[in-house]
């Protein structure tokens, strides 16, 4: 029975869209599959890892002989489609318990599993809160904060990103216990306060799927779940249960010793001195000696080798000698796309506040380290 006849590109795009959520090793074999469902109006592609589900629809439908639903290996289907010519025509044919994919003189028979066995996440309740914003705005928020998300931290709430609706603001926060990133953006409407912690994987998948356009993305908060709808894509994710730390207590209030420096200039200097840091260590330290008019950056390694860079700065306060993880500085400078950054200090032992001049909505806090 002929199911679909279409171009290779039209079929490959939705398969790629949903397949990113699938883990290589699954507890249930069917979760390695992609669900394909078609009726007279649309074709649906759906994949899940049981915690995150991505669905995309192609409109209009691909004119099937009759409606159908089945599941087939996502990896095998994607690899086959990638290997075929870009302008090729594809036919999907169901033959008993196999899906035959034909293109030109090539034919592939793939085993299928029943669609009714696929654990689809369906949300029927009304959302507790809703927000709408441009895709590029949400993509930018995720980019500015997700690099601080912890990985496999025993404090499980740090393995995710806080998305907090506060009146007419959406606030994104992440921390790994040593650093914290925060960005607040304005919403068109005021909503009841709502906090959820989305898993790291959800944030990363969402970042890949969102585009840099002003097309809308709708965020719906449900009990223990969150839903993002945009560009014929629906991503539903379970959330991390627990209370996120009170990040407002972490934001320094007395950091009045400041200087502004060109972002690329500082990044390039750090990249050069990092060549002589202890490469095999996770916590590679860098020493910042801040004097009026001068920033001295020093890296040493266990072989007693040393690199030093001096940069001119506008600084008119007492001298400071601060050590910090060089990765934490470089992660930020590689992430933000501003021309300059501002560094603010209270003393040599207090946390460092880094912000973007003219942007009060973004804050990055880093704890110093002992060297």
Q: Cβ neighbours of residue 136 under 8 Å, at least 6 residues apart? A: 210, 211, 212, 213, 214
pLDDT value at position 206?
A: 96
In the Cβ-directed half-sphere of 35, how many Cα atoms lie within 13 Å?
Answer: 23
The pLDDT confidence band at residue 198, using thresholds 50, 70 and 90, is very high
Q: Cβ neighbours of residue 131 under 8 Å, at least 6 residues apart? A: 165, 170, 187, 189, 191, 218, 219
200, pLDDT greater than 90:
yes
Q: In the predicted model, what is the mean pLDDT of the chain?
A: 91
For 99-110, write each residue's pLDDT tens digit.
999 998 999 999
Cβ-contact 91, 134 below 8 angstroms: no
Cβ-contact 221, 165 below 8 angstroms: yes
What fold does the segment set 2-117 form as a domain?
DNA Polymerase III; Chain A, domain 2 (3.10.150)
pLDDT value at position 190?
A: 86
- Distance between CA atoms of residues 313 and 333, nearest Å: 17
265, pLDDT greater than 90:
yes
pLDDT value at position 245?
A: 87
H runs (alpha helix) in the chain: 8-19, 74-83, 135-145, 200-209, 263-273, 326-335
Q: Which of 138, 135, 136, 125 is nearest to 165 (CA)?
A: 138
24, pLDDT greater than 90:
no
The pLDDT confidence band at residue 282, using thresholds 50, 70 and 90, is low
- The edge-to-edge listing of strands for the beta sheet with 179-199 is 160-175, 179-199, 359-366, 352-356, 340-345, 257-262
State whether CATH 3.10.150.10 applies to domain 257-366: yes
CA terminus-to-terminus distance, the chain:
69
- Distance between CA atoms of residues 17 and 55, nearest Å: 8
Domain with CATH 3.10.150.10 in the chain: 2-117, 129-249, 257-366
Higher-confidence residue: 156 or 34? 34
Q: CA 101: distance to chain centroid?
A: 33
User: At the top level of CATH, which class does the domain 129-249 belong to?
Assistant: alpha beta
Mean pLDDT in residue range 337-342 = 96
64, pLDDT greater than 60:
no
Two tokens at 200?
């790291």
Residues recorded for the chain: 371
């Amino acid at each position: 029975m002929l199911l679909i006849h279409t171009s290779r590109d039209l079929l490959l795009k939705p398969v790629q869209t949903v397949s990113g959520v699938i883990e290589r090793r699954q507890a249930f074999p069917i979760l390695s599959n992609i669900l394909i469902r078609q009726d007279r109006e649309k074709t649906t592609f759906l994949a899940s890892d049981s915690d995150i589900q991505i669905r995309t629809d192609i409109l209009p439908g691909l004119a099937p002989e009759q409606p159908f639903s089945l599941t087939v290996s996502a990896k095998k289907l994607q690899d086959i489609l990638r290997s075929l010519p870009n302008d090729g025509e594809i036919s999907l044919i169901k033959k008993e318990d196999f899906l035959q994919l034909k293109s030109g003189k090539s034919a592939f028979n793939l085993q299928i599993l029943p669609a009714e066995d696929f654990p689809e996440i369906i949300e029927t309740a009304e959302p507790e809160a809703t927000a709408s914003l441009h895709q590029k705005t949400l993509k930018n928020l995720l980019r500015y904060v997700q690099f601080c998300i912890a990985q496999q931290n025993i404090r499980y709430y740090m393995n995710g990103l806080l998305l907090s609706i506060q009146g007419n603001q959406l606030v994104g926060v992440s921390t790994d216990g040593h650093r914290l990133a925060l960005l607040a953006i304005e919403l068109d409407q005021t909503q009841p306060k709502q906090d959820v912690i989305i898993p790291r994987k959800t944030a990363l998948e969402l970042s890949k799927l969102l585009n840099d356009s002003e097309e809308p993305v709708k965020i719906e908060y449900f009990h223990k779940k969150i839903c993002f709808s945009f560009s014929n894509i629906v991503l539903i994710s379970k959330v991390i249960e627990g209370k996120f730390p009170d990040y407002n207590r972490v934001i320094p209030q007395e950091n009045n010793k400041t200087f502004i420096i060109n972002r690329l200039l500082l990044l390039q200097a750090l990249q050069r001195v990092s060549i002589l840091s202890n490469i095999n260590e996770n916590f590679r330290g860098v020493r910042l000696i801040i004097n009026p008019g001068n920033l001295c950056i020093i890296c040493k390694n266990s072989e007693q080798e040393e690199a030093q860079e001096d940069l001119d700065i506008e600084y008119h306060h007492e001298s400071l000698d601060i050590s910090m993880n060089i990765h934490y500085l470089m992660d930020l400078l590689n992430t933000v796309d501003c021309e300059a950054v501002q560094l603010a200090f209270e003393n040599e032992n207090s946390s460092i506040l880094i912000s973007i001049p003219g942007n009060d909505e973004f804050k990055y806090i880093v704890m110093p380290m002992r060297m």
